[in-house]
Structure 1
């Protein structure tokens, strides 16, 4: 029986600020390789002999990240858009109803977090094979990880009696994140870390969810039944989905069902839930430092230093994490990594845009970055992906100068359409209807110089938009 991977990709990942922010969370960032965590998750279970094409559940704001990054690794998932964040239980009920309708109610679903690291994918797939045998017998199977230390940042599973077959066990209990002494006791007693990844028959998850959370289940299923098709995406009905209570699958189903099971995963795994976890999966030098980007260290040890742009030079660090982006720098003792979420909450209360938004802003067609901002002028770098088309628009308060530095631009200006090549430029007068597109096969890069009395992003009157944005 083939398996449908269902990838949950709607989280915000604020514990990895300033790299992960609400506008671009950690699953879409290349944290440990040249691929994003989401792309690594897709490639862990590629469509083929064992796996059907994946289903991705994500927030509407992230739909184009999902689509573009999946295309980059040659995978075409079904993409279901949540109108609101409701945690994992409603999302998995929706996914189960979708898979049951498309492939049959007994089809197995492999529910995967999109922001975890698995270093040995072949061992992971071997564990999936074992879990599939237990799931086919009517079990919701969790992948448990043998702990190597008494972590307080993970939930735990107490495995029970062995089930028929090889490597699967009943679950005596799921337990929440413990304090340090309790975590040590769990480690000594043979408990497993709860990886938050599951395998189950589609119809079983729906029936168990209906038994324990009927309101949640009925609303989630109704949200799919009333869903709309939106330029290739499946957009859930907002009213029905928002009526579903926000609950994790652990609280909603797994802690109540008698049909759970656990398979021990012998693969290297991390949920990358904090910067100390990122440090632990990195390649340390002889002094125990993990560095990435333009970094220079002197007399430092046991530290994580990462820069996404400026040179970061450090002297005398010991067990310290430094993360620098173009607009924010985080410095902390590495053992305070769990406090980053509280810091982000404080930044949001102070209305700091850096809490949510990067200097580089992602759009369905590509990105833009403010390079220089002054009185009555602004300079941006704009990147348009191949085939990308900006909205047909006009501005009331600014004119624009476009200088192409790479690729070819197709420009619509009033009733004219023309091409601007590399090392050429054009001028968009104030008030004129215009559009920018990339008809080529390589990225279009241009420098935009805006001049005028007001340069805010809300001075855009969109007349036509293929991405259906307001």
Structure 2
């Protein structure tokens, strides 16, 4: 049985951004190393990534009756610096924004992710209040990081109502107003569509239907898409999880209690213990708890969300929310289109032209091109499966790769050589490292480089160069206030990225 009591009006609101997943259906723009939530895709004019939009949407509810606590981001260890960089970009819009990044060593689906967030929120509230009373029981506003809406005001209104419901101790779920017989989403069935002032009572959840059943749902009414957005007290989630999946709760608590914490400026990095986390059963929020709640001792209400929601699950969805021209084409980058209709053409690094095509998806990146029929855009995941089977790097990384210190772009490669363009942020440095199989030549093309080369430390400016012998300990740093750019020429018998031995590292990778 649950122990639900109305929340105090002083309950703290904690944004929880679930930032996992790799967005395989949006390959080649989305890769395992730079997944879709960090991409700018929606064409809403904000130039914000989906991850940044998710944070901004929740922060829009902040006001005299709502006080937001630290934003909690549950993400993969490998994506921590992507998230941190994009959080820093948001500081200009949300000056008070601070965040804790809960770093999963492996993916275990959304139920363990939310449990980490609930444990963190309770710990922080108890520490702040000095007790574990109701005033220390925060309300979690939970959303995936890879969705978009076209009507932010409607979202804010629905979210405010959901918070009011959660303050009573109930679970609030946002249900998307369906506009088509969609077979790719689960549905929420409500008991009655009358008197929705305090939310609809959820009757049951139904799995993704076939097309005939989806059409029946729309005709009958009372069915809404499940967008995976929840608002509930941390204590309610933990109590329900204890009742329905005590194995997940116990395993996650063990990994949490053995966590490690460090800081990166204004953000916290919190790492549950790796081996204990691997032992957590993998399950979704819905299967673990939410679908069991209708009719139980955990009241669950649905708030209707009619805000132009889209989870951008495939390229066809990106076309749907994009800015279409008079012929229904959505174009991005350097494109030329003639006598073509209802197509998406995305150019990343060169001119892309389309002549006499219809209902196509064309996506170009520096190292890959996708051409697909719009109606088959869900099947892009099959190409990603082939890339994985062939162990091709195009599945995981772009030619241009983000790093916590900046980025590198592999501009050319051949037998026994590779050429990279490298940019280092002001004040940043690479790790102190060495390579067993390659030597490196560095040429400074912009800024000032501080180079550790064995026992020597030297400064190089534009047009100056140096040579790092194979096996030599070395480091590249930018002591200046502007970005440093160098050209690196590698030569040797093996040029893989795993030929790095780190001795010291600012970013915890040694």
TM-score, normalization by structure 2: 0.88
After alignment, is 94-103 or 155-164 more displaced? 155-164
* Structure 1 match to 2:48: 35
Does structure 1 residue 99 correspond to structure 2 residue 99? Answer: no
Cα separation, 2, equivalents of 1:165 and 1:153: 26
Please say if 1:68 is aligned against 2:85.
Answer: yes
Distance in structure 1 (CA, Å) of the matches to 2:501 and 2:115: 39
Which of the residues 318, 336, 356 maps onto 1:296?
A: 336
- SS at structure 2 position matched to 1:45: helix
Q: Is the 8 A contact 1:167 1:264 kept in 2?
A: no
Which whole-Å deviations, capped at 9, do the CAs of 1:339-392 have from their partners, x for residues lacking one?
111221122112222122221222222221211112332210112223321111
Task: Give the aligned partner of residue 432 of structure 1.
Answer: 472
Q: 1:214-363 counterparts in 2 under 5 A?
A: 214-231=246-263, 232-257=268-293, 258=296, 259-363=299-403
Pair 459,89 (structure 1): closer, same or farther in 2 beyond 3 Å: closer
Q: 2:165·2:198 contact (CA, 8 Å) conserved in 1?
A: no
Question: Do residues 209 (structure 1) and 241 (structure 2) align?
Answer: yes
Residue 457 of structure 1 and its aligned partner are, at CA, apart by 2.5
Looking at structure 1, the residues matched to 259 and 82 of structure 2 have their Cα atoms a distance apart, in angstroms, of 21
Change (3 A) 1:392 1:420: same
**1:285-333 Cα shifts (integer Å, max 9, x gaps):** 0100001111111111011111111221111111111111111111111
Does 2:101 correspond to 1:84?
no
* Secondary structure of residue in 1 paired with 2:289: helix
CA contact (8 A) 1:162 1:168 kept: no
CA contact under 8 A between 2:348 and 2:364: conserved in structure 1? Answer: yes
2:169 matched residue in structure 1: 138
Cα offset, 1:221, TM superposition: 2.0
Q: C-alpha distance in 1, partners of 2:491/2:403?
A: 22
Aligned to 1:22: 32
d(CA) in 1 for partners of 2:496, 2:215: 54
- For structure 2, the residue ranges without an aligned partner over 5 or more in a row are 1-10, 92-96, 127-135
Relative distance call for 1:385 and 1:46 in structure 2 (3 A) is farther
What secondary structure sits across from 2:124 in the alignment?
Answer: helix
Counterparts of 2:98 and 2:445, CA distance in 1? 32
Residue 147 of structure 2 contacts residue 312 of structure 2 at CA under 8 Å; is this kept in 1?
yes
Distance 1:295 1:37, change over 3 A: same
| Post-superposition CA distance 1:105-134 (Å, at most 9, x none) | 521100010011122223212111101111
Compare 104-113 and 81-90 and name the one that shifted more.
104-113
- Corresponding residue number in structure 2 for 1:157: 188
SS in structure 1 of the partner of residue 191 of structure 2: strand
Is 2:414 the partner of 1:374?
A: yes
Inter-partner Cα distance in structure 2 for 1:37 and 1:139 = 28
Give the CA RMSD over aligned residues. 1.9
1:52 lines up with 2:52 in the alignment: no
Give the structure 2 partner of residue 10 of structure 1: 20
Deviation at 1:163, TM superposition (A): 9.8
2:494 matched to which residue of 1?
Answer: 454
Aligned-partner Cα distance in 1 for 2:225–2:496: 48
Bigger mean CA offset, 180-189 vs 267-276: 180-189
Using the TM superposition, give the Cα deviation of residue 165 of structure 1 relative to its aligned residue in structure 2, in angstroms: 7.7
2:201 is the counterpart of 1:170: yes
Most deviating of 240-249 and 326-335: 240-249
Partners of 2:225 and 2:201 in 1: CA distance: 15
The DSSP-based 3-state class of the residue aligned with 1:255 is helix
Single out whichever of 107-116 and 403-412 deviates more from structure 2: 403-412
C-alpha separation in 1, matches of 2:408 and 2:258: 35
Shift in CA distance, 433/124, structure 1 to aligned 2, threshold 3 Å: same
Describe the shift of the 1:434–1:302 C-alpha distance in structure 2 as closer, same or farther (beyond 3 A). same
**Separation in 1, partners of 2:436, 2:238:** 52
Greater shift, 205-214 or 25-34, is seen at 25-34
2:182 & 2:16 partners in 1: Cα distance?
27
Find the counterpart in structure 2 of residue 385 from structure 1. Answer: 425
Cα deviations across residues 411-463 of structure 1 (Å, max 9, x unaligned)? 12222323222343333233332101123333222111123343332332322
- Please tell me whether the aligned partners of residues 15 and 337 of structure 1 are also in contact (alpha carbons under 8 angstroms): yes
Checking the alignment, whether the CA contact within 8 Å between 1:46 and 1:53 is kept in structure 2 is: no
Distance 1:422 1:269 in 2: 49
Superimposed CA distance per residue, residues 123-178 of structure 1 (whole angstroms, 9 cap, x where no aligned partner) = 21211110111111121111111111111111111122479882511101111211
TM superposition shift of 1:334: 0.2
1:260 positional shift:
1.5
After superposition, give the CA deviation of every residue in 1:15-47 in whole Å (9 maximum; x if it has no partner).
Answer: 111111111110111222522111111222239
Contact 1:163 1:170 in 2 (8 A): no
